[in-house]
Amino acid sequence: MFKIDKNKIPYHVGIIMDGNGRWAKKRLLPRLAGHKAGVDALKRVTNAARELGIKELSFFAFSTENWQRDKEEVDGIFDLVLKHLKENYERFIHDKVKITTMGDISKLPKNLYELLVDVSNKTKHNTEFIVNIGLNYGSRSEIIRACNNLIDKGKKNITQQDFINELYTSSLKDPDLIIRTSGEQRLSNFMLFQSAYSELYFTKTYWPDFNKKHLIKAIKDYQSRDRRFGKIKQEKK
């Protein structure tokens, strides 16, 4: 297999972290043990992404549909996010990581909401590396919210840029690559507008097992794709 091309690293990578439950089940562990191992994977992959030169990383941590899970699991996921943010708060500032969120975070438990607002504010001037977390996020709600924002602003005729400005991701580039783990091959309401030209990569690996090697494999696959954005391929002269 060819080596990774340092000049063609995807700028923004979106990750649908799937398979935590199955990872736990395989080990006869409670589902929350899978999510806990999922946070370890998130840390591993964040470090690896930064080392490889990725600039923006979006994680789908909790969808608008995930509220339908048992309360114990939902509360457990929020606790894990809270713990991760608390433990890494100083590190984000020191390492110049900007934390952004997408989704209606006002519906999250108050302590998590307040911490997310605080860490987003404290890190908003960092430009080195962005970690964007999808929490109570669903792309359809995001699109409807953008439309309502535009109506509220009295807009009658809008451009693509007007619309993009109302998305949670307005400060981010569109994802170049979207990775989904655990063998499922769908976007499940993740960045539907933003993914118009994203390359999609699916792997059978469960999220808690995903590591730097898997990320490199996904990037190499991405680099082998011919991204044309609707244009005709430029022949080499």
Sign of torsion, CA 180 54 130 191? negative
Q: Of 77 and 146, which has the nearer Cβ to ligand FPP? A: 77
| 138 near ligand FPP, judged by CB under 6 A | no
CB of 41 to ligand FPP, least distance (A): 7
Among 21, 76, 103, 175, indicate the residue that binds ligand FPP (CB under 6 A).
21
Between helices 71-94 and 110-122, what is the axis angle to 10°?
20
State yes or no: residue 57 binds ligand FPP (CB under 6 A): no
Q: Which is nearer to ligand FPP, 23 or 222 (CB)?
A: 23
Query: The tokens of 207 are what?
Result: 């999220």
**Residue of 9, 32, 42, 116 interacting with ligand FPP (CB under 6 A):** 42
**Which residue in the set 9, 59, 76, 175 belongs to the binding site for ligand FPP (CB under 6 A)?**
59
Looking at 10, 14, 15, 20, which residue binds ligand FPP (CB under 6 A)? 20
* DSSP line for the chain: -PPP-GGG--SEEEEE---HHHHHHHTT--HHHHHHHHHHHHHHHHHHHHHHT--EEEEEEEETTGGGS-HHHHHHHHHHHHHHHHHHHHHHHHTTEEEEEES-GGGS-HHHHHHHHHHHHHTTT--SEEEEEEEEE-HHHHHHHHHHHHHHTT-SS--HHHHHHTSTTTTSPPPSEEEE-TT----TTSSTTTTTT-EEEE-SS-GGG--HHHHHHHHHHHHTS---TTSPPPPP-
Name which of 120 and 165 has its Cβ closer to ligand FPP.
Answer: 120
Residue with the shortest CB distance to ligand FPP: 21
Residue 22 touching ligand FPP (CB under 6 A): yes
Nearer to ligand FPP, 98 or 223 (CB): 98
| Residue entry with tokens 């946070």 | 39
Q: Which part of the chain contacts ligand FPP (CB under 6 A), choosing from 15-23, 110-118, 188-196, 214-222?
A: 15-23
Minimum distance of ligand FPP from residue 50's CB (angstroms): 16
Active site residues: 18, 66
Binding mask 68-107 for ligand FPP (x = CB under 6 A): ---------x--xx--x-----------------------
Residues paired with 60 in a beta bridge: 16, 134
For the bound state, the minimum distance from the C-beta of residue 70 to ligand FPP, rounded and expressed in Å, comes to 11
For the chain, how big is the Rg over CA atoms in Å?
18
Q: Tell me which residues touch ligand FPP (CB under 6 A).
A: 17-22, 35, 38-39, 42, 59, 61, 66, 77, 80-81, 84, 133, 182
